[in-house]
Amino acid sequence: METRHLKDFTVAVVVIILFAFFLKALSVYNSAQAIPTDSIYKDMAIDEQLLEQIQQIEHSIRDRMDFVFTVTRDPLEQNLVVRTKVDLEMEWRRKVEAMMRLAATYVDERGNRKAAIAYQGKTEIYSIGDFIENNKIVDIETGQITLLYQGRENILEVKPLPPKPAMIDNRTREQEYSW
């Protein structure tokens, strides 16, 4: 055989092989298009309750993956694990300072009714018409005041300080002496 015929034969074989690969790829593509996206047994395989549980688990996993964990305090700090009397005392003081408490009502020497209100760690004297935290004092009576906030009247009565927790109240415990 001549070289020229050998080249033509090689080109013909390559073209036939490429054509065969094209036909095979076309048949695979057509068979892939014929496969449905949902199974015909989908309704028989899983009930709605199980599908809902699976979706809840998937949402939970997605939420956990999206969660950004931030630490604002040192987790190894001893005060977070062991709270001392000082820590409990400070918590109680913060709680008391955060509450608005009517400490007393009285009439001054000129006959004006006054109220002593403890708030944010301070005790201040107020009269009728004064404002405290956007509340207008509209009336002061013995042992109580009437506040007006956004058209609603609220009554604040004289109350003592809330009791200290038993853990930090030294008066509730009997002293033990070691002799």
pLDDT digits (tens, 9 = 90+) for 52-91: 898 999 999 988 888 887 777 766 766 555 667 777 788 8
User: Is residue 128 in a domain?
Assistant: yes
Q: How far apart are CA 140 and CA 113, in angstroms?
A: 6
User: Is residue 19 in a domain?
Assistant: no
User: Is residue 22 in a domain?
Assistant: no
User: Is residue 117 in a domain?
Assistant: yes
Using DSSP, state whether 13 is helix, strand or coil: helix
Q: Is 11's pLDDT higher than 60?
A: yes
Using DSSP, state whether 112 is helix, strand or coil: coil
Strands across the sheet with 152-157, in order? 131-132, 135-141, 144-149, 152-157
Total domain count for the chain? 1
- Prediction pTM value: 0.45
User: Is residue 24 in a domain?
Assistant: no
User: Is residue 36 in a domain?
Assistant: no
Q: Which of 145, 143, 141 is nearest to 153 (CA)?
A: 145
Q: What is the CATH number of the domain that holds 106?
A: 2.30.30.830
User: Is residue 25 in a domain?
Assistant: no
Please state, for a pLDDT cut of 90, what percent of the chain lies above it: 18
Task: Give me the mean pLDDT over the 160-164 stretch.
Answer: 77
User: Is residue 45 in a domain?
Assistant: no
Per the structure, the complete domain to which residue 130 belongs is given by 100-157
